Amino acid sequence: MSDPLKRVAIVGSGNWGSTIAKIIGNNIVKFNTFENEVRMYVYEEMVDGRKLTEIINEEHENTKYLPGHKFTPNIVAYADVVETIKDADILLFILPHQFVERTCNAIKSHVKPGAFSVSFSKGFYVGKDSSVELLSTAIARLLGIPCYVVMGANIASEVASGTFCEATVGARNYEHGQMVKGLLQTEEFRIVIKPDTEVIEVLGALKNIVAVAAGFSDGLGYGDNTKAAVIRLGLKEMVKFCEEFFPGHHPHIFLESCGVADLVTTCYGGRNRKVAAAFVKTGKDIKTLEAEMLNGQKLQGPDAAAEVKEWLKEKGQANKFPLFTAVHDICERRIEPTALIDALRYHPEF
């Protein structure tokens, strides 16, 4: 007798969560290799006088976070996160990282034995005692199940539109990695599996900090030469951070989609760059701009910069990463945006 089909649940339904739901829904219908129904946890809110879950289940579209893109009918929205993950074998976490702990605590006693999770979230987790750990580590610890990661050069709207792109799955378990690839890969969305889970995740968080620096550079009116320096020196700090705190990875990992490709696309597109440029031009604070510009989405770069500052402080290494440190201090208005150029000019690299 063949094994029962695995059930998939998606925890999160923003721009990226909805994009992944669109891909997975299509793949499951096409290949029939997983349980047909995919439950998606939706933070309930009213959109034009209607509940968002009702809109998704009746119109098969997330009109707030991914308008213009239809889901297959097997994507079913739930407002109750416990109900969403009940009986699921694979839990996909696609939440702003600020909500991960609360969500894990709500579901931890309801997770199916033998399940595994995958984090698409980019950031670090800071505990109440100011200790810092990777989100995948926090999810695995809180739920008591393995957690893998998916990172890459992926601006959600472009992935949803079917323009060619790629992503990196970080998994040391071959069978689980292949399952994730089977869920996600399409002709236009190509997946590479690598075992360097921690570094793949770290790169996803750190590149958002560099993208904020790129946005500051744009907002200050500097050109492509300066932005290229931001990207290069930012990449140097990303590599140094990984070598310092996560040794043992394969050096080629930086050439994967989760590395240099993700960094470049985020420094030229993406919300971190856009909001950081507006921060310089308008003088408004980050939270105000987030509310005005992102239609309910969350910004990851400034939080990641604060988390990394905490991490470096804990390890006594803050002065070795001047670009990361400058981004945090500018976001907190401790220094002027122009100080970013000093961080580049007097970088230890020179």
Q: Does 16 show up as a binding residue in the annotation?
A: yes
Q: Does 68 show up as a binding residue in the annotation?
A: no
Give DSSP secondary structure letters for 98-153.
Answer: GGHHHHHHHHGGGPPTT-EEEE---SEEE-TTS-EEEHHHHHHHHHTS-EEEEE-S
Q: What is the dihedral of CA 310, 123, 119, 184, to 10 degrees?
A: -150
Position of tokens 């921690």? 198
Give the burial class of 224: count Cβ atoms within 10 A of its Cβ; 0-12 exposed, 13-18 middle, 19 or more buried: exposed
* DSSP-derived 3-state class of residue 18: helix
Q: Does 236 show up as a binding residue in the annotation?
A: no
Dihedral sign for Cα 40, 43, 47, 53, please: positive
Side-chain half-sphere CA neighbours of 179 within 13 A: 22
Q: Does 271 show up as a binding residue in the annotation?
A: yes
Q: Does 74 show up as a binding residue in the annotation?
A: no
Q: Does 259 show up as a binding residue in the annotation?
A: no
Give DSSP secondary structure letters for 146-187.
Answer: -EEEEE-S--HHHHHHT--EEEEEE-S-HHHHHHHHHHH--S
Q: Does 119 show up as a binding residue in the annotation?
A: no
Q: Give me the phi and psi of 170, to 5 degrees please.
A: -100, 110
Q: Does 298 show up as a binding residue in the annotation?
A: yes
Position of tokens 């007798």? 1
Enumerate residues 6+ apart whose C-beta is below 8 A from 116. 89, 90, 91, 145, 146, 147, 148, 173, 176
Q: Does 345 show up as a binding residue in the annotation?
A: no
Q: Does 269 show up as a binding residue in the annotation?
A: no
Length of the chain: 350
Q: Does 245 show up as a binding residue in the annotation?
A: no
Q: Does 13 show up as a binding residue in the annotation?
A: yes
**22 part of the active site:** no
Q: Give me the phi and psi of 176, to 5 degrees please.
A: -65, -40
CB 97 within 8 A of CB 121: yes
Amino acid 2 reads: S
Q: Which residues pair with 46 in a beta bridge?
A: 51
Q: Does 77 show up as a binding residue in the annotation?
A: no
| Active-site pick, 207, 227, 274, 309 | 207
Side-chain half-sphere CA neighbours of 317 within 13 A: 15
The residues that are catalytic are 207
Binding-site residue numbers for substrate are: 122, 271-272
Binding-site residue numbers for NAD(+) are: 12-17, 99, 156, 271, 298, 300
Binding-site residue numbers are: 12-17, 99, 122, 156, 271-272, 298, 300
